């Protein structure tokens, strides 16, 4: 059966159309539109009129695109920006289509299920991490299923909205962003995560990154502007290489970042912050490498 899902995120609206047969998902079409729905949200607590209009237009366009690809069953889901905004109804009422506002727990579960749709990762003990625009989801699980999940208000757009940086950023500005990440990770959530990771036992736990920033890491590492899923999912980045990619982003001015192969020019600003989140959480949790998955939330939503 051909099914679709539209994911309204903090930074962009994404469409996945796939043929779904039992637990097997065969992607047919994947595309996105950047709408920056979270712009201004963390100052005002509300979605702003411009991003709302852009998001509604993007959803309408992507619904039409799905239909042109013989998909008449498209689900709409929304994540942290919509669940946090006090005026979320303004967006939801204007969409003209039913949309599910995912809780942080539901978002984490679907990301885990999506990663597990890849046979190579289906049975490994893993910590699945999805660094989004407004939140980061953490899921601990193994062959028996999900054991623990957390959703933290830590995202690349959220950090960008809260920290004004120079071009290129200064060392002090980078440290201020890192300190914000440390503060968010310093609560009880990380203590619980460590406990559940320790309880998994052998074989070693794999750190799996999914979502937009993880895919950007893979594309930058491969120096590939395309989207070769098999090559991207073969990428495993040692911590030293994650640090090198992060340093490359933070050392360059925006105009130079926009020329990096594998990094879309419209993500060259927000990628700064997502890269630092991944580097810091690897250091905090003691992971030596990051495995990339191109499957996550939308794949999980197609299975649910």
pLDDT, tens only, 6-43: 999 999 999 999 999 977 899 999 999 999 999 999 99
Report the distance separating Cα 158 and Cα 138, nearest Å: 17
Q: Are 11 and 20 in contact (CB under 8 A)?
A: no
- Give burial (CB, 10 Å; 0-12/13-18/19+) of 277: buried
Nearest to 129 by CA among 212, 209, 242: 209
Q: What is the mean pLDDT of residues 121-129?
A: 92
- What pLDDT, on a 0 to 100 scale, did the predictor assign at position 171? 98
222 CB neighbour count, 10 Å cutoff: 17
The pLDDT tens digits of the residues spanning 249-295 come to: 999 999 999 999 999 999 999 999 999 999 999 999 999 999 999 99
Q: Measuring CA to CA, which residue among 229, 242, 249, 244 is closest to residue 287?
A: 242
Residue 143, pLDDT > 90, answer: no
Q: How confident is the model at residue 237 (pLDDT cuts 50, 70, 90)?
A: very high
pLDDT the model gives residue 203: 79
Kindly state the average pLDDT of the residues 175-180: 98
Global pTM value:
0.94
Position 2 confidence tier, pLDDT thresholds 50, 70, 90: very high
In this predicted model, what pLDDT tens digit does every residue of 153-174 receive, in sequence order?
Answer: 999 999 999 999 999 999 999 9
CA-CA distance, 296 to 61, in Å (whole number)?
23
pLDDT score recorded for residue 266? 94
Name the residue with higher pLDDT: 257 or 191: 257
Q: Which residues pair with 88 in a beta bridge?
A: none
The chain-wide mean pLDDT, for the chain, equals 95
C-alpha to C-alpha distances, 149 to 34, 86, 114, 146, nearest whole angstrom: 28, 25, 14, 8
- Residue 134's pLDDT is what? 93
Burial 136-160 (b: 16+ CB within 10 A, else e): bbbbbbbeeeeebbbbbebbbbbbb
Check residue 45 and give its pLDDT.
Answer: 95
253: three-class secondary structure by DSSP: coil
Higher per-residue pLDDT: 145 or 269: 269
- Which of 126, 161, 146, 176 lies closest to 293, judged by CA? 126
Say whether pLDDT at 234 is over 90. yes
**Would you state the pLDDT for residue 188?**
81
- pLDDT single digits (tens) 198-210: 998 777 999 999 9
Percentage of residues of the chain with pLDDT beyond 70: 100
Q: Decide which of 61 and 194 is more confident.
A: 61
3-state secondary structure 178-195: HHHHHHHHCCHHHHHHHH
Instruction: Give the pLDDT mean for 78-96.
Output: 97
Eight-state DSSP code of residue 288: S
Query: Which of 57-71, 109-123, 165-179, 248-262 has the lowest average pLDDT?
Result: 109-123
Q: Could you give the 3-state DSSP secondary structure of residue 53?
A: helix
**Is the bond leading into 212 cis (omega within 30 degrees of zero)?**
no
> Looking at residue 120, what is its pLDDT?
84
- Write down the pLDDT at residue 123: 85
All domains of the chain in start order, with CATH: 2-101 (3.30.420.40), 105-301 (3.30.420.150)
């Amino acid at each position: 059966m051909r099914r679709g899902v539209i994911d309204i995120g903090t930074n962009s609206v994404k469409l996945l159309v796939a043929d779904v047969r039992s637990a097997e998902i065969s992607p047919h079409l994947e595309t996105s539109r950047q709408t920056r729905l979270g712009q201004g949200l963390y100052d005002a607590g509300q979605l702003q009129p411009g991003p709302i209009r852009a998001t509604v237009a993007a959803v309408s366009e992507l619904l039409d695109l799905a239909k042109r690809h013989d998909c008449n069953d498209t689900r709409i889901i929304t994540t942290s920006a919509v669940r946090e905004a006090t005026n979320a109804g303004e967006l939801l009422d204007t969409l003209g289509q039913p949309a599910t506002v995912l809780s942080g727990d539901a978002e984490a579960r679907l990301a885990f299920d999506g990663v597990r749709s890849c046979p190579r990762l289906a049975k490994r003990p893993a910590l699945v991490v999805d660094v989004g625009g407004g939140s980061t989801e953490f899921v601990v699980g193994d062959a028996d299923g999900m054991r623990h999940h957390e959703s933290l208000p830590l995202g690349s757009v959220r950090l960008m909205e809260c920290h004004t940086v120079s071009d290129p950023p200064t060392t002090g500005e980078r440290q201020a962003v890192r300190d914000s990440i440390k503060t968010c990770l310093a609560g009880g959530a990380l203590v619980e995560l460590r406990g559940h990771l320790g309880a998994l036992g052998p074989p070693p736990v794999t750190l799996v990154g999914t979502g937009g920033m993880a895919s950007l890491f893979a594309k930058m590492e491969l120096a590939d502007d395309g989207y070769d899923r098999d090559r991207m999912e073969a990428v495993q980045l040692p911590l030293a290489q994650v640090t090198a990619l992060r340093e490359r982003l933070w050392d360059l001015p925006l105009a130079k970042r926009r020329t990096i192969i594998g990094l879309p020019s419209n993500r060259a600003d927000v990628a700064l912050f997502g890269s630092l989140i991944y580097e810091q959480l690897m250091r905090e949790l003691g992971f030596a490498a990051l495995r990339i998955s191109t499957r996550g939330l939308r794949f999980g939503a197609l299975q649910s």
